[in-house]
Amino acid sequence: MRGESFVQKAFSELQVLDYANTIAISVVSIGELMSLAKQRNWAEAKQHQIETFVEQFLIIPIESKDLLVRYADIDAYSQGKLVNKPLPKNVSARNMGKNDLWIAATASITESILLTTDKDFEHLDHIYLTLKCLMIG
């Protein structure tokens, strides 16, 4: 919902030609968008724009056992408590937001590139998922 220029930049950087068939979105991300719309009191037309926008993508639910297990693995790993996969020495333990955990687990299980505008997922890059951080502006 950042605007057409941001979307075009994202698709350009990822070199995506037919994004309707190649980009997936976690159902959790849709919930976050809907919550943001309510919190910011967006007009009904803009809220409808969210629904139309996300219909273009493959929507990934959070009900598969593999995804649930990956969520638990990523949470334990991020907190430095996964016995068989410790954090690298230069990475400190952190509590991830629960929605970010679901999103990371979804990207990991689907072997998707996780497109983000922040650094909340950096410690997972090349371990559980492939990360692409877009700078805004």
pLDDT of 94-111, one tens digit each? 999 999 999 999 999 999
Q: What is the pLDDT of residue 50?
A: 84
Average pLDDT over residues 26-53: 90
Average model confidence (pLDDT) for the chain?
87
pTM score of the predicted model: 0.84
14 vs 131 pLDDT, higher one: 131
Look up residue 136 and give its amino acid. I
How far out from the chain centre does Cα 93 lie? 20
Q: What is the pLDDT of residue 71?
A: 98
At 122, list the tokens: 């950096």
Q: What is the pLDDT of residue 47?
A: 86
Q: Does residue 101 contact residue 74 with C-beta atoms inside 8 Å?
A: yes
Cite the DSSP H helix spans in 16-110. Answer: 27-39, 44-54, 65-78, 98-110
CATH 3.40.630.10 corresponds to the domain 4-133: no
